[in-house]
Copies of this chain bind each other. A is one copy, B any other.
Amino acid sequence: MGGDRAPSMVIEGLRVALERHPGARFLVFGDEAAVGPMLGRHPALAAACVLRHAPELVPNDMKPTAALRLRASSMRLAIDAVAAGEAEGVVSAGNTGALMALAKIVLKTLRGIDRPAMAGIGPSARGDFVVLDLGANVQCDARNLVEFALMGEVFARTVLGLRSPSIGLLNVGAEELKGDERVRQAAEVLRASHVAPLFHGFIEGHDIAGGTVDVVVTDGFTGNVALKTGEGTLKLVRDLLREVFSSTLAAKLGYMLARPALERLREWLDPRRYNGAVLLGLNGVVVKSHGGTDALGFAHAIDLAMDMVTHGFNAQISAELLKLRGESSAGEGPEQGAATALAG
């Protein structure tokens, strides 16, 4: 029920997703009176779906604390289904804050992860990059950044299909002494960890689109601003190019001649292709679709969830964490610190 053009956009998105993943089965939560007839018009899709009535919905402007009190919203019931093991993941185009809060409370954080992170994908000169956190945590400490790096690396392997993704820590300069204590500490831990061969070190803002690394690690405030700044800049150029190509007769003709090549570029930079922010670090797959997207964009968000489920994303995260803790418990890792505190 979430998103600007829901529920019809979601149903259309499911149709596209079913074509791409014929074996998939969907639990659909929403207003039966509205969604039922829509599904009825698409028998093939209806056969792959089970519709469950949700008497409530989370409005876009509802505060997370209020959303937590709704026990029968479509969002809540969908997340409950993941917690109950009926579904492997949840995709929603609804209220981001509510989705994060509900998912965190119902699904709980993966063992060994301090805080979940929101990850997103964007276009770069070398292909796609993943950036996290996008705002699940406005403030982060060094431990959070290290865990984000691990989760981002697994995400790049499982979803972007990269064999050895490189990791960069976003900073205001590439030199070792730049930035705040937090990023310097995180860099130190990563350099001493089992992912050290993949760790590129510090990167700067221009490295994101430049494709210097595959995984961009930063706090939720900076990551949110960086991804949206990049999106806004792409939109500006798209709008300006549209103006340019309609400004004169010669430019219009020029556009028609260059059109096939320009179309490929437009498709590659299409924000729908990057739709879907993923909440990493929970017991279950949670994907947030942009509320303003269309069926194609929503289908991309479903693709993301399918990729993560198919490639056992969470099991791999847990394995990575074991490696990190195995090494750090030999030194002064956080778990040893905790044990000491208990013993004292």
Contacts and interface: CB of A to CB of B under 8 A. Distances in A.
A218 interface: yes
A227 B205 contact: yes
A187 to B, nearest CB: 15
Interface residues of A, number: 61
Copies in the complex: 2
A71 B139 CA distance: 41
Interface stretch (A153-161, A243-251, A308-316): A243-251
B244 A225 contact: no
A230 to B, nearest CB: 5
Contacts of A209: 229, 232-233, 235-236
Interface stretch (A7-15, A258-266, A279-287, A317-325): A258-266
A330 interface: no
Given A124-B236, A261-B245, A230 B230 contact: yes
The A interface, classified by DSSP as helix, strand, loop or mixed, is helix
A49 to B, nearest CB: 33
Contacts of A207: 232
A205 B226 contact: yes
A261 B229 CA distance: 25
A96 to B, nearest CB: 9
Contact of A241 (B125, B227, B232, B265): B265
A163 interface: no
A57 interface: no
25 contacts: A63-B177, A123-B236, A125-B236, A135-B172, A139-B180, A170-B225, A172-B220, A204-B224, A205-B226, A205-B231, A209-B233, A218-B225, A222-B225, A230-B233, A233-B233, A234-B237, A240-B268, A241-B265, A244-B258, A244-B265, A245-B258, A247-B261, A250-B261, A251-B257, A254-B259
Counting from the closest, the 4 A-B pairs by CB-CB distance are A205-B228, A254-B258, A254-B257, A206-B232
